[in-house]
Amino acid sequence: MQNLRLLIIEDDIDQRQLMGEMLEDHFGAGVVSGAGTGRDALKLDLSNFDLILADYNLPDCNGLELLESLQAVCRTPIIMVTGENVGHIAAQSINKGATDYIVKSGDYLQTIALVVEKNLIVARIKRENDLLRQELEAALFEVRSKNTQLESSLQLLEEMAATDPLTKLHNRRYFSQVIDQLFAEADRYDKDLSCVMIDLDGYKQLNDGYGHQVGDQLLQMAGKAISANMRKMDVAARYGGDEFVLLLPVADTEQATAVAQRISSEFAQSTARFLNRSSGVTMSIGISSMRTIRPAHADELIASADAALYTAKERGRNCISHAETVTTCMARP
């Protein structure tokens, strides 16, 4: 064993010398160091030793006290050596952390090297196992971190795939995925579901007159006004161009109308300030609800809201039209 270092803590000089000779005969010259008391041993850098043989009875302490002191400063394997062949002492020593126990009787000097070698092998295997365990824990931690990063990346990709980059609302693709689910839930539990279609009045002329950058900002302002009036359960999407669609679960026509009026009012006020005009950009809005029109499928709910939207435009814009043909006109801001 290359660069092996052993420490014998033994107050009997003759015993220490005999033990040292037997160990150096087996492991090679110069591998053994000695100390006569626990105090002397604790002055050494014990982490430099591969194994310690400690006598149970020392002038300044007993074996159990020494074990505790040694383990407080190093993790080096310790073999307890004593002339007392008493079982409970051996058990106490092992329970306190000694790796083995040698009794000074008979031909113990002939076997001491083998006992030391066995404990060195066990200690090496334990170190290797500890290292493997640490490497495994590090690898598992890295895998978990990578999985967390991957999940976050996938979630971000899913959000990006479902989001309109300009308005930060959902896109039409996502809306198409959720409407069937919301429709089925409302139908199953006999709950209302309102659909709100919104179109910006005169957007094309504004976009052409002020430029596309201003047109994009108007769309963003519409997205903010819509988001500010949405509940967590609601779904809002940019349906295409300057058209938006909202799904309001468990909301009837009256509640959907109130939401639409708040959105229209906030948008008109913010765009008036933005364009530095006395009046802002208005919205035409169509609303349909399941309990009002009793649609057979989700597409019919959307189609009825879309039809109501066109009715609102035909009636002069800046108003809310319901699928049952009731129209609510809104005062200009």
Residues that are catalytic:
242
Q: CB–CB of 317/305 below 8 Å?
A: no
Q: Indicate left, alpha or beta for 76 from its phi (over 0: left) and psi (-120 to 50: alpha).
A: beta
Q: Indicate left, alpha or beta for 243 from its phi (over 0: left) and psi (-120 to 50: alpha).
A: beta
Distance CA 194, CA 262 (A): 16
**φ, ψ of residue 84 in degrees (nearest 5):** -95, 115
Question: Token pair for residue 99?
Answer: 């790796």
Distance CA 28, CA 1 (A): 9
Q: CB–CB of 287/256 below 8 Å?
A: yes
Q: What is the DSSP letter of 36?
A: S
Distance CA 235, CA 60 (A): 80
Secondary structure (3-state) at 79:
strand
Distance CA 322, CA 332 (A): 20
Distance CA 182, CA 23 (A): 81
Secondary structure (3-state) at 11:
coil
Q: CB–CB of 253/292 below 8 Å?
A: yes
Secondary structure (3-state) at 200:
strand
> How many other C-beta atoms lie within 10 A of the C-beta of residue 274?
14
**All residues at 6 or more sequence positions from 266 whose CB lies less than 8 Å from its CB, including other chains:** 225, 228, 229
Distance CA 225, CA 267 (A): 6
Distance CA 154, CA 50 (A): 50
